[in-house]
Amino acid sequence: MVCIILLKPFNKTAQVRRGTLLHEAARLAGIDLHLPCGGQGRCGRCAVILEDGSQARRRSTLRLSQADLLAGYALACQTVVEGDIVAHIPPQERVERRLTTDKTAVGIELPLVYDPGHEQPLRALPLRLPPPTLDDNTDDLARLQRELARQHGIQELQVDLPVLRRLGRTLREAEWVVTAVVEMIPLSPPGPIGANLSPPGPPILGGVSGRGASSPQDWGVRGADWKRGAGGSARLIDVHPSDHFSLWGIAIDIGTTSNVVYLLDLQTGRVVGQAADYNAQLARGEDIISRIIYASKDNGLAELQALVVGTLNRLIERVCRRQRVDPMEIVKVTVAGNTTMLHLFAGLPPAWIRLTPYIPAANQIPAFTASQVGLNVHPQATVDCLPGVASYVGADITAGAVSSGLATTDKLTLFVDVGTNGEMVLGNRDWLVACACSAGPAFEGAGVEHGMRATEGAIEEVWIHSATFEPTVRVIGGGKPHGLCGSGLIALLAELFVTGVIDKAGNLRHDLGTPRVRRGAHGDEYVVAWAEETATGRDIVLTRVDIDNLMRAKAAIYAGFSVLAQSVGIALADVEQVLIGGAFGQYLNVEKAVQIGLLPDMPWERFQFLGNTSVRGAAMALLSQVVRRQMAEVARKMTYLELSMDNRFHEEFMSAMFLPHTEVERFPRVHELSGR
């Protein structure tokens, strides 16, 4: 039975089969609804108003009040179409499509001395072939192989059918003067790699799980002892009908929230452009767990795969258009991202990442071609997903460990990338130990009453007057505030604590004589902005529940630091530098992060903010096989601590559920400040 769905105010329609979910019907009508919880009916964000809903069956109304139900509200993800339906979609529930600003690439420098002839396997080889005659009637492929051997020393050539299908026409149209684009493959088996990286191995740790054998899937990247023109094996990417061909590469970071693309000139090694946008999968779940659940639905994996590839293709198209680069000249792609994001990108089911004992399909996904996932670059371009370590310590961390310098430094270093999860690595060039803490999405503005992502209208910085308890705020974009983003929440929590509005357990004090501390619908709250000052016309508040969520998030991350340090028998104070990666770190106020006990209390000069270390690592791996092998080596030797069953972690977490910490001596400078 076909049912007709009319969606107002757009007056768009869809014809769907009985039994379809309303959000799916909306998608078919061209309207993407926001499903932050992945369509599980938990978040209540996809509520629509049924104007004619007699043929709609509500599967779950858990998130709707009696008043909502009487007003006709239904959750689109929980509403089954049983006949014709007329629904009204409130504007705020449509997916926000605000673009993050694309910065110019000027000034992006990679910590790498680029040597294209030695470290970079892509080659554009000019080739003049003698045209065939009755006396030299070798076939097209053998002629190409013969001349690549004679003119460029390539002894063995791998050719895929799609390339061979075009070869004859190209050779003749170009009148036998062409450019062969090849990716060199090292001849020798993997030897001891990364000699300057490996020595002693990680310290032996009680209760630390071994990772087993590393993946030997470093396809085409091992023992790179081929030299320019010195022969060897190669994979033919294409034959181009001209004696000139530019070689471009794309480095990608697939974040749960944001995707970033760098365009690189493989001949100079320079980053010539970048573009960033939200991951379109956001409409199917804001956090990793929601996405994994969505992927297990019928066609859910294919849908999520298409969404992220769609985002990446838009970014590639945009960066290419700006730089006037033909996407067909992009012949190599490297991809970093957390393990779940790489699974969804490659179309690998992520189901077992979520279930104990948390097993990915592959930490090192074998290389594939762009055409296999639908990436709009050269269809034969190699797509190299960088190696990860475990389900919750992915290729973004491996890439970050290399691009941040952690993997090559002598200094005892803590590297941390705070997103929905806090992922962290402690170590130096000799050993590395990593863990991931489920911090929850509070620092990304989710799970907090007035939380939001760090886009226009977000309060990103807060100061509170120590006598009047009146706040001053800074809003992204300068207009009226809509809510609070992660850095704003941290700043607010810190200011509330150091001004004494809240105590070390997070309780609000009512004896301060300010109307900003009050009892709200859900308990105590602090008013950051009055209704008349906000863009929403409602008070922006931080509730006691929000404070608990933030404290749990910061406690999880600090507990991770502590367990890492304990596991190798050092004190956090011994850490010589703290490298902070990820978008979050870019806007973080260290002082305030230390004040709430999120970051350890140490001299500020030890902290460095590095921005997106993941995409930078992907760019370095794109340019250099030596770096790429370093990453494989780092992934192999990084010891992973699984915290979910670790008693020490639980104890450390409980101790960290105070501001800044139960043991105030760990935060001497904060103690001095707040102890007045």
Write out the residues near a copy of itself by the rule CB under 8 A: 132-143, 145-146, 149, 155-161, 164-165, 167-169, 172, 209-217, 219, 346-349, 351-352, 356-366, 368, 372-373, 390-391, 640, 642, 644-645
H/E run at residue 11: none
Nearest distance, CB of residue 337 and a copy of itself, angstroms: 16
Nearest distance, CB of residue 351 and a copy of itself, angstroms: 7
Phi, psi of 399 (to 5 degrees): -60, -40
Long-range CB contacts (within 8 A, 24+) of 104-111: 104/273, 105/262, 105/263, 105/271, 105/272, 105/273, 105/274, 108/262, 108/271, 108/274, 108/616, 110/269, 110/271, 110/403, 110/616, 110/619, 110/620, 110/623, 111/403, 111/405, 111/620
To the nearest 10°, the Cα dihedral for 107, 113, 118, 124?
Answer: 10
Q: What is the maximum alpha-carbon separation in the chain?
A: 102
Query: Strand 421-427 relative to strand 413-418: parallel, antiparallel, unpaired?
Result: antiparallel
Nearer CB in complex with a copy of itself: 172/519: 172
Phi, psi of 458 (to 5 degrees): -90, 135
Query: Who contacts 676 (Cβ-Cβ below 8 Å, separation ≥6)?
Result: none
Query: Who contacts 168 (Cβ-Cβ below 8 Å, separation ≥6)?
Result: 140
Query: DSSP character for 132?
Result: P
* Exposed e or buried b per residue across 182-196, where buried means at least 16 C-beta atoms within 10 angstroms of its C-beta: bbbbbeeeeeebbee
Nearer CB in complex with a copy of itself: 66/137: 137
Nearer CB in complex with a copy of itself: 65/188: 188
Residues forming a β-bridge with 274: 262
Nearer CB in complex with a copy of itself: 112/362: 362
Nearest distance, CB of residue 149 and a copy of itself, angstroms: 7
Nearest distance, CB of residue 373 and a copy of itself, angstroms: 8
Nearest distance, CB of residue 235 and a copy of itself, angstroms: 11
Please give the structure tokens belonging to residue 312.
């990446």
Amino acid at 299: N
Nearest distance, CB of residue 220 and a copy of itself, angstroms: 11
Query: Side by side, which strands form the sheet with 483-484?
Result: 471-475, 458-464, 483-484
Q: Which residue has the tokens 């791996």?
A: 621
Query: DSSP character for 373?
Result: T
Nearer CB in complex with a copy of itself: 262/368: 368
Query: Who contacts 527 (Cβ-Cβ below 8 Å, separation ≥6)?
Result: 515, 516, 518, 539, 540, 541
Identify the CA nearest to 561 among candidates 475, 435, 655.
Answer: 435
Please give the structure tokens belonging to residue 114.
């680029």
Nearest distance, CB of residue 279 and a copy of itself, angstroms: 21
Nearest distance, CB of residue 219 and a copy of itself, angstroms: 8
H/E run at residue 368: strand 368-369
Nearest distance, CB of residue 564 and a copy of itself, angstroms: 18
CA dist list (Å): 16 to 55, 82, 196, 414: 13, 10, 61, 53
Nearest distance, CB of residue 155 and a copy of itself, angstroms: 7
Identify the CA nearest to 311 among candidates 38, 95, 457.
Answer: 95
Nearer CB in complex with a copy of itself: 100/217: 217
Nearest distance, CB of residue 360 and a copy of itself, angstroms: 5
Nearest distance, CB of residue 135 and a copy of itself, angstroms: 5
> How far is the C-alpha of 211 from the C-alpha of 139, rounded, in Å?
49
Nearer CB in complex with a copy of itself: 305/420: 305
Nearest distance, CB of residue 363 and a copy of itself, angstroms: 5
